[in-house]
Amino acid sequence: MIQAFHVYKQYDRESCALSDVTVHVNKGEFCFLTGPSGAGKTTFLKLVFREELPSQGQIIVGGRNVTAIPDGQIPLLRRSIGVVFQDFKLLKRRTILENVAFVLKILTVSSKEQKRRAFTALKSVGLHHKMHAYPLQLSGGEQQRVAIARALINDPMLLLADEPTGNLDPDMTMEIMTLFQEVNSRGTTVLVATHDREMIQRLGKRVIALEKGRVVTE
Amino acid sequence: MIQAFHVYKQYDRESCALSDVTVHVNKGEFCFLTGPSGAGKTTFLKLVFREELPSQGQIIVGGRNVTAIPDGQIPLLRRSIGVVFQDFKLLKRRTILENVAFVLKILTVSSKEQKRRAFTALKSVGLHHKMHAYPLQLSGGEQQRVAIARALINDPMLLLADEPTGNLDPDMTMEIMTLFQEVNSRGTTVLVATHDREMIQRLGKRVIALEKGRVVTE
Amino acid sequence: MALLRALRYFVEEAFISLWRSRLIHAVSIGTIAVSLLVLGTFLTVASNLHAAVAEWSRKIQIVLYLEDGLEGRIRESLERRLAGDPAVAGVEHVTQEEALRRFRRLFPDLQRLPEDLGENPFPASLEVTVRADQDALANVDRLVVEYTQAPGVEQVQYDSLWIRRLNTAIQLVRWIGGFLGGILVIASVFTISNVIRLTAYTRQDELDIMRLVGATRAYVQGPFVVEGVIQGGLGGLAGVGLLWLAFRMLVGRALASSDLLGRAVVFLPIQLAAAIVIGGMVVGIVGSLVSLRRMPV
Amino acid sequence: MALLRALRYFVEEAFISLWRSRLIHAVSIGTIAVSLLVLGTFLTVASNLHAAVAEWSRKIQIVLYLEDGLEGRIRESLERRLAGDPAVAGVEHVTQEEALRRFRRLFPDLQRLPEDLGENPFPASLEVTVRADQDALANVDRLVVEYTQAPGVEQVQYDSLWIRRLNTAIQLVRWIGGFLGGILVIASVFTISNVIRLTAYTRQDELDIMRLVGATRAYVQGPFVVEGVIQGGLGGLAGVGLLWLAFRMLVGRALASSDLLGRAVVFLPIQLAAAIVIGGMVVGIVGSLVSLRRMPV
Ligand SMILES: Nc1ncnc2c1ncn2[C@@H]1O[C@H](COP(=O)(O)OP(=O)(O)OP(=O)(O)O)[C@@H](O)[C@H]1O
Ligand SMILES: Nc1ncnc2c1ncn2[C@@H]1O[C@H](COP(=O)(O)OP(=O)(O)OP(=O)(O)O)[C@@H](O)[C@H]1O
Ligand SMILES: [Mg+2]
Ligand SMILES: [Mg+2]
């Protein structure tokens, strides 16, 4: 599903966010991406869904070379990937139901269908009772769960989750992980960036560890 | 330092973010505030530095009744409290050095002194080498550390930290906790809202647990 | 179907945005309206002045006052000679009685004055209308000199100096109007693209998020274009409406009935009014596209 | 000291904000400049027209053409009678020779025409200037009737119709100028408060953060007020500058040398130009305060 070959990413002259990263994630796999603060986890995920371009190297996602696809096709790539952003990236001026439904809206799904599926997605993270609230009216953990619901609503072929449980209590963390495993068992490839060692140990999945932009253990 | 008497906070008709919360935190204490997502931790902290007013009840902070102080005195209250916000709240258009120095700037400290102290604060969280970067050029964990440096720069009488290690790896988490304990030993009262059970256990401090807006263990 | 849904989404979003920050949009529509109002005012003045000048030009006159008791034969030969001149558009004979009648019509207050004087003081005259072409002023000069000494002509009166002054004034109005008009069209484009740029800017975060979850560029920008069209259209409508109100209140009432300007003052033709509104909408589209040009993918 | 530091901070922040989003501010300053430019244009036209009209009014003339070979005695008694009339400001005697000289001066092309005709065709005349007061037009009418039949007077010529038309035109310009001028002052206030509101709006997050870390309301708002002042001032300067350029390029060159308007066309007096700039700054302060009024604590 994800094949990265000798990828480098340099934001500025002095330092390298990623150096010579070669990583393969198979279709249907569930794996963790870990490493200390500033190691390059978020940067790697950004390269996968083409928010950023690598300075060097190639990345193939779902058979498409994302370093070379034309601008017009980028939205298509992104629609096939569900992303839980580290800073949530919710639309402040829309209710959380609208936020979750937006992914379907841009596919011009009928609005009834949008609502139905968005409600189901919110229910799976336990927030259906707050569906008419705006993001800033929610607690940090609640916002994070909305971001998770949005990432999952369109049954993506690939799920990228960046520190998806940083604002959640241990019980809720386990619930979300169970949800991710369910989604994974339905065929979605899952890549979770996290610091939570306890969670990684408990799930016993494959771990890719970064440090200062380099892969240290596979 | 903090005395809350029968505090209620209702954002909307249906639900109560805080119900009948009575809590005392002594001067010089270090304690944790915990509870599942949406329990009311952030709400309680917001009441303490008067971002929100309680619907009912009284809160005394450092001898001042914050439910009754005039508008003109609110800035004075806030200057004596260091806050690490759950969503960081950094100024996007200023470098992180400027972000940290801003707290001193509004006190009209000389700009040389501002820079000196801001640099020291950034150094204590290990980010002095990135001082000219803008927040959006930093990783999630790095931004969180900037927020921590800003909260500490002016030696506040009270430190409120809302999930201050949600984006940090375990090693960095321990470093930050050590920093907080140092600050605490210099006389600052510290109140940390967190989900991290491991951290709470390891430090062995007093824990205030909230659930659905009520205090469940003291 | 998909296209229709997208279009509906654009319009809905545009209205939601207009409504959510209605104050700012009211102010911006007001600004556009004022720009177009100023433009419309100039168009109104220009079109009226143009018509008035055309009318006045047709009236450039030389009056040949005739000697008292002139023989009809001599008068007729004068009339024939004038009618044959290529610069002359028409000749009218005004008798002494007709001159008196005109005086009484123009100055009703002084009705009885001529009678008090005992005798008709007004001479008969030939009113010569000069062809309204580019050489009109030169022709006037030539005719004046030519007929000052003609037999039977007592005195030649003509409007040359005032016409020169009027022409200067008209030229001035044209310059100023063209100058201000040009600047104001630019200002309108500026204002709209300014407001749309700022609107987009205040929602930069949102636009980024939309793109990151897979919305196409067209999908993200559509609502802004529609918003621009609506803003421009509303601004144009408000501008024309205000202009019409002002016209009715100020100019219409005072001048429509009198004919001192030489003709009735009229409002903009409906086509031009419509053009202002449609122009506002086009400017809205252009302004929004310009302001959204450099959005990243 | 603290106050000075705060003030320095306001100015620094204002300039940083102006520089960081310089495109948007350039556009907004441009909008303000155009508003003030339009206002300035009207002020210029109005002040020039006013002066010209005053000048022209002083020149309302009735010309009494005298019979050929009139006795000096009769002419002098006419002059005395005219000079005694309260409506008359002055009387000038123009001899036949003087009339010929004037003709030659006005129409150099036709220099030799009078000689070709063999005789001086121009009659002597008395040029009567009417006092420029409210009754000027009525007085002209009365004088015309009174002297048309006077002994020695061949013919009376006067400008009444043109003067009436001109007066109408001036009234029209005043109405339109007042109307547009009023609207444009309002538009300027609108524009500045609009831009500042939007600027504050784009930085709402920042302003919230500042308050949450203990900045006072005055401290948060100070930079915006300074920004408003700078924007208004720059807009005013640009407007006056553009007006001056336009004046030099269009109006100045074409009209300053000729005196067809009756007098030289002049630029706005320096005080009025300064008033526009200072007005811009005041509007900037007011606009920023208005737009920041409802900020929470
Ligand atoms: N837009 C940017 N411009 C410049 N430098 C950047 C930018 N984004 C990230 N960096 C730098 O690249 C490095 C890697 O950042 P990244 O966000 O990938 O880290 P991370 O592993 O996600 O860390 P965290 O766990 O703290 O989120 C960091 O040192 C960061 O400062
Ligand atoms: N501005 C607001 N308007 C309406 N409801 C709000 C608002 N802020 C918080 N709430 C609600 O109040 C409850 C408590 O929120 P709070 O942010 O205090 O939770 P928390 O304990 O900080 O949770 P987390 O660990 O997820 O950050 C939540 O149910 C939340 O939805
Ligand atoms: Mg990260
Ligand atoms: Mg919280």
What is the model's pLDDT at position D260? 47
CA–CA distance, C291 with C203 (Å, rounded to integer): 13
> Which region among A53-67, A183-197, D24-38 has the lowest average model confidence (pLDDT)?
D24-38
Q: Is the pLDDT of residue D256 over 60?
A: no
**How many other C-beta atoms can be found within 10 angstroms of the C-beta atom of residue D232?**
31
- Final residue of a domain: which of C136, C158, C180? C158
Which helix H or strand E contains C13, and what residues bound it?
A: helix C2-20
**How many other C-beta atoms can be found within 10 angstroms of the C-beta atom of residue C67?**
15
Q: Is the pLDDT of residue D270 over 70?
A: yes
> Which region among A68-82, B58-72, C203-217, D153-167 has the lowest average model confidence (pLDDT)?
D153-167
Q: What average pLDDT does the segment A50-74 reach?
A: 93
- Final residue of a domain: which of D142, D158, D174? D158
Q: Do D154 and C157 touch (CB under 8 A)?
A: no
Same domain, D76 and D148: yes
DSSP state of D133: S
Residue numbers of C between 1 and 60 with CB closer than 8 Å to A? 1-2, 5-6, 9, 20
What is the model's pLDDT at position D192? 65
Share of chain D above pLDDT 90, in %: 5
Residue B83: φ, ψ to 5°: -125, 130
Which helix H or strand E contains A19, and what residues bound it?
A: strand A18-25
Q: Is the pLDDT of residue D200 over 80?
A: no
Same domain, D182 and D217: yes
Share of chain C above pLDDT 70, in %: 67
Residue A153: φ, ψ to 5°: -60, -35
Considering only the beta carbons, identify the residue of D114, D183, D260 that sits closest to C37. D183
What is the model's pLDDT at position C59? 64
Q: Which residue has the higher pLDDT, A136 or D110?
A: A136
Q: Is the pLDDT of residue D57 over 90?
A: no
User: Which strand ranges, in their side-by-side order, compose the sheet holding C88-94?
Assistant: C88-94, C125-130, C61-66, C153-158
Same domain, D224 and D280: yes
Residue ranges of chain B with pLDDT lower than 50? none
What is the model's pLDDT at position B65? 94
CA–CA distance, D103 with D110 (Å, rounded to integer): 9
Which residues in D lie closer than 8 A to residue B76 (C-beta atoms)?
214
- In D133-186, which ranges are E strands? 153-158
Residues 6+ apart with CB under 8 A from A131: A95, A96, A97, A118, A119, A122
Q: What average pLDDT does the segment D257-286 reach?
A: 75
Q: Report yes or no: A84 and A147 within 8 Å, Cβ to Cβ.
A: yes
State the total domains in chain C.
2
CA–CA distance, B212 with B19 (Å, rounded to integer): 8
Q: Which residue has the higher pLDDT, D187 or C9?
A: C9
Which of A43, A87, A163, A194 to probe ligand 1 with, by most ligand atoms within 8 A of CB? A43
Which CATH number does the domain housing residue D98 bear?
3.30.70.3040
Q: What average pLDDT does the segment A90-119 reach?
A: 92
The pLDDT tens digits of the residues spanning C104-147 come to 765 555 555 556 656 676 788 888 888 766 666 677 778 888 88
C294 touches chain A (CB under 8 A): no
What is the model's pLDDT at position D194? 67
Q: Which residue has the higher pLDDT, D106 or A115?
A: A115
The residue type of B73 is: Q
Residues contacting ligand 1 via CB (< 6 Å)? A 11-12, 17, 35, 37-43, 86; B 137-142, 167
C222: containing domain: 2-55+164-293
Q: What average pLDDT does the segment D228-249 reach?
A: 87
Same domain, D182 and D285: yes
Mutation for testing the B interface, residue in D21, D213, D221 having most B CBs under 10 Å: D213
Considering only the beta carbons, identify the residue of C121, C175, C194 that sits closest to D148. C121
- Tokens 């606009």 identify what position? D287
Q: What average pLDDT does the segment D217-234 reach?
A: 88
Mean pLDDT of chain D: 76
Mean pLDDT of chain B: 93
SS3 breakdown of chain D: % helix, strand, coil, rounded to 5?
A: 70, 10, 20
CA–CA distance, B142 with B100 (Å, rounded to integer): 13
Q: What average pLDDT does the segment A180-205 reach?
A: 94
The pLDDT tens digits of the residues spanning C251-282 come to 655 555 445 455 567 788 888 889 888 988 88
Q: What average pLDDT does the segment A145-150 reach?
A: 96
CB < 8 Å & 24+ apart, contacts of D171-179: D172/C45, D172/C251, D172/C255, D172/C261, D173/D45, D173/D46, D173/D49, D174/D46, D175/C250, D175/C251, D175/C254, D176/C41, D176/C45, D176/C251, D177/D42, D177/D45, D177/D46, D179/C41, D179/C246, D179/C250
Q: Is the pLDDT of residue D164 over 70?
A: no
Task: Enumerate neighbours of B (3 or more CB pairs within 8 A).
Answer: A, D
Mean pLDDT of chain C: 76
Q: Ligand nearest A38 Cα, by number?
A: 1
CA–CA distance, D185 with D279 (Å, rounded to integer): 10
Same domain, D169 and D44: yes
CB < 8 Å & 24+ apart, contacts of C40-43: C40/C239, C40/C240, C40/C243, C40/C268, C40/C273, C40/C276, C41/C243, C41/C246, C41/D176, C41/D179, C41/D180, C42/C177, C42/C180, C42/C181, C42/C184, C43/C181, C43/C268, C43/C272, C43/C276
> What number is the ipTM of this complex?
0.76
Residue C131: φ, ψ to 5°: -60, 130
- Final residue of a domain: which of C129, C158, C187? C158
Helix or strand or coil: residue D88?
Answer: strand
B168: buried, middle or exposed (CB in 10 Å: 19+, 13-18, 0-12)?
Answer: buried
Same domain, D197 and D278: yes
Same domain, D195 and D210: yes
Nearest C-alpha to atom 12 of ligand 1 is from which residue?
A17
The pLDDT tens digits of the residues spanning C174-213 come to 676 677 667 666 766 666 676 677 677 777 888 889 999 9
Same domain, D168 and D275: yes
Beta strand B158-162 with B81-84: parallel, antiparallel or unpaired?
parallel
CA–CA distance, B137 with A56 (Å, rounded to integer): 20
Q: Which residue has the higher pLDDT, A117 or D174?
A: A117
Token pair, residue C36, equals 């177009």
Q: Is the pLDDT of residue C294 over 60?
A: yes
CA–CA distance, A172 with D142 (Å, rounded to integer): 103
Q: Is the pLDDT of residue A125 over 80?
A: yes
Same domain, D48 and D187: yes
Which of B12, B16, B41 to probe ligand 2 with, by most ligand atoms within 8 A of CB? B41
Same domain, D40 and D93: no
Same domain, C70 and C25: no
CA distance A141 to chain B (A): 5
Question: Is residue B11 within 6 Å of ligand 2 at its C-beta?
Answer: yes
**How many other C-beta atoms can be found within 10 angstroms of the C-beta atom of residue C270?**
8
DSSP state of D252: I
The pLDDT tens digits of the residues spanning C63-114 come to 888 888 788 888 888 888 888 888 888 888 888 888 778 767 655 555 555 5
**How many other C-beta atoms can be found within 10 angstroms of the C-beta atom of residue B77?**
18
Q: For residue C118, what is the nearest residue in chain D, using CA coordinates?
A: D149
* Beta-bridge partner residues of A191: A31, A160
**How many other C-beta atoms can be found within 10 angstroms of the C-beta atom of residue D53?**
18
CA–CA distance, B180 with B148 (Å, rounded to integer): 10
Task: Tell me chain A's radius of gyration from C-alpha atoms.
Answer: 17
Q: Do A137 and B11 touch (CB under 8 A)?
A: yes
Same domain, D117 and D203: no
Q: Report yes or no: A148 and A134 within 8 Å, Cβ to Cβ.
A: no
- Tokens 């553009």 identify what position? D242
